Amino acid sequence: GAVVSQHPSWVICKSGTSVKIECRSLDFQATTMFWYRQFPKQSLMLMATSNEGSKATYEQGVEKDKFLINHASLTLSTLTVTSAHPEDSSFYICSAREREGETQYFGPGTRLLVL
């Protein structure tokens, strides 16, 4: 299957700082990338959908000014958690697909802990 990487795999930061998470498709060009978050023992919740070269589409209840998404190239999308607070602590996972209708392949996830 296709390979998607995320960096960093985990990060600890102080409250009020910003954190950037990278998602890369390693062996295919991802026209669309998705960002999810997962709280302990809960389901994966879609945060936003990003298409290369255009603005991300955010799900209801997700603050676009807090979770900045940039999909600048066909192999890279970034999620920046701005002014992070302890309640932003979570497991963030990205996925990518090459074309419409194709299966999404997931990255390994990034665990964020905000102190």
Partner 1 sequence: DQQVKQNSPSLSVQEGRISILNCDYTNSMFDYFLWYKKYPAEGPTFLISISSIKDKNEDGRFTVFLNKSAKHLSLHIVPSQPGDSAVYFCAASDEGSGTYKYIFGTGTRLKVLA
Q: Kindly state the smallest distance separating residue 83's Cβ from partner 1, in Å.
A: 25
Residue from the set 14, 43, 54, 61 that interacts with partner 1 by CB under 8 A: 43
Residue from the set 30, 97, 112, 114 that interacts with partner 1 by CB under 8 A: 97
Q: If you write DSSP's letter for every residue of 69-109 in order, what string do you get?
A: EEEEETTEEEEEE-S--GGG-EEEEEEEESSTTSPPEE---
CA atoms within 13 A on the CB side of 58: 12
**Residue 111, interface with partner 1 (CB under 8 A)?**
yes
Residue showing tokens 């209708």: 101
**Residue 1, interface with partner 1 (CB under 8 A)?**
yes
Contacts with partner 1 by CB under 8 A lie at 1, 4, 6, 32, 34, 42-46, 49, 91, 93, 95, 97, 100-101, 103-109, 111
